[in-house]
Chain A
Amino acid sequence: MYYYVYDTFLSDKKYEKVLDKIKVTLLDLDIQGKHERLTLLKSIDELIKDEVKRGINTIVILGNDKTLLRVIDTVGRHNITLGMIPIGPDNSIAECLGIPTEEAACEIIAARKIVQLDLGKANDQYFLSSLKVDKNINRVSIHKDNYRIVPQPNCVEFDIYNLYYPEGVENYEKQMKKFSPQDDKLELVIRKNETKKTWFKKKTGINPIDSIIQSKLFKIKSFEYLPVVLDGYKVIKTPVIVELAPCKLKMIVGKDRLKYIQ
């Protein structure tokens, strides 16, 4: 039984035709199920929990990267399969997973090719993509095994990646190889402030990567409570134990997925 969850932005009239086409395609492919539209008053976590109790084993979200990332914590807690029908802009994750947009994605759902992806866990929260700290870095230390990593003054940000989906990066494939969501590891990436001089003015940018350390477990400690952003939307505070979750995410993917996702 399928449970289709629509993100709130799909209530916009401009998506009506697309949604109608998707419903017709789902009917044609005989993969109907319960359809639910999210509103500001409906908690996506509660909805999914209720449906899991009723026996739903596949959740298909309709929306974009943000929609997908928002359900990861709940999906990670239950042994359910996750599918996606990408609609609108900001669908880099779907692109990595080989899922085409709109009604074309229905065939991927019907084909039901499932891969297992790693999940990260920060304290008791699951995440798929990354964890970010970009404030007061000089007050943070990261511990791994028998050593600690101390950011220096030129360090401006660090992230811990499970799945990396750089937007607008040409060599997607190359980047994904570094941060494969199937390598049983998390990647700590340290970024530093880089100042580029031009003839006329100084240009400041962020150096993409200064350091990379791989591990299954990191501990982030700080002298005071500092915000840590999970998957770009959820904020938790230090101290944080970041680890590879014991469970995997069962994700429906397309055949055109990046070759590093097997």
Chain B
Amino acid sequence: MLMSMFKNGNEEGYGAESNGVEDTLIGNSIKIEGDLVSNGSINVEGEVVGSLKTEKQLRVGEKAKVVADVKAQEAFIAGVIQGNITVGGRLELASTARVTGDLQAAVLSIAAGAIFNGKATMQETSGGGFIENKAEEADEE
């Protein structure tokens, strides 16, 4: 579902058409230490220690490990995150996600099998977001 929003970094999102937006693909052959701030989407398959902030989508892969506070417009998490996650739009935790920290999102989806230890705060969004939140919560139950 949300996965479709995150295009594979190997295929799209780079080049002259990206209008100054910096897209980032972090594989498992590198480790990022410090404050990673991007105005484009970020796809993490490796390790990040510090903080992670993007104005667009964030995807944390199954084998990724993020020890950082995370801020993004939308996020799909399938790996390990130790830190608080703040998402303006939709936050999706896949069944393989292991999150230790507080979540804040407008729309939250947690798949069965995901491990989440922390506090979740949801904000009502304009344009019917509240109804969607209720539906998501009902699904989890």
Which A residues contact B (CB, under 8 angstroms)?
145-152, 154-155, 174, 176-180, 182-185, 187, 190-192, 209-215, 260, 262
B26 touches A211 (CB 8 A): yes
A177 touches B15 (CB 8 A): yes
Q: Chain B's nearest CB lies how many Å from the CB of A29?
A: 31
Sample of 20 more A-B contacts, CB < 8 Å, known A174-B11, A211-B26: A146-B35, A147-B50, A148-B32, A148-B33, A148-B34, A150-B33, A151-B30, A152-B30, A154-B28, A184-B20, A190-B27, A190-B29, A211-B30, A213-B24, A213-B26, A214-B14, A214-B23, A214-B24, A215-B22, A260-B15
Q: Chain A's nearest CB lies how many Å from the CB of B61?
A: 12
Residues of chain A within 8 A (CB-CB) of B24 are 212-214
The A contact surface, by secondary structure, is mixed
A147 to B29: give the CA distance in the assembly, Å: 16
B14 touches A152 (CB 8 A): no
Contact string against A for B residues 9-50, beta-carbon threshold 8 Å, 1 for contact and 0 otherwise: 111001111101011111111111111110010000011001
Q: Chain B's nearest CB lies how many Å from the CB of A176?
A: 8
A184 to B29: give the CA distance in the assembly, Å: 26
Q: Chain A's nearest CB lies how many Å from the CB of B36?
A: 5
Question: What residue in chain B is nearest A184 (Cβ atoms)?
Answer: B20
B30 touches A210 (CB 8 A): yes
A180 touches B30 (CB 8 A): no
Decide: A147 near B32, CB < 8 A? Known: A210-B27, A211-B46, A213-B24.
Answer: yes
A84 to B73: give the CA distance in the assembly, Å: 46
A145 touches B20 (CB 8 A): no
A152 touches B33 (CB 8 A): no
B28 touches A210 (CB 8 A): yes
Q: Chain B's nearest CB lies how many Å from the CB of A227?
A: 20
A92 to B30: give the CA distance in the assembly, Å: 30
A175 to B132: give the CA distance in the assembly, Å: 39
B15 touches A180 (CB 8 A): yes
B28 touches A178 (CB 8 A): no
A179 touches B14 (CB 8 A): yes
A192 to B25: give the CA distance in the assembly, Å: 14
A85 to B30: give the CA distance in the assembly, Å: 41
Decide: A211 near B27, CB < 8 A? Known: A147-B35, A147-B50.
Answer: yes
Which of B28, B37, B47 is packed against the most chain A CB atoms within 10 Å?
A: B28
A192 touches B29 (CB 8 A): yes
A187 to B18: give the CA distance in the assembly, Å: 13
Decide: A212 near B28, CB < 8 A? Known: A147-B33, A185-B22.
Answer: no
A212 touches B25 (CB 8 A): yes
Residues of chain B within 8 A (CB-CB) of A174 are 11
A185 to B31: give the CA distance in the assembly, Å: 22
A150 to B46: give the CA distance in the assembly, Å: 11
A214 to B22: give the CA distance in the assembly, Å: 6
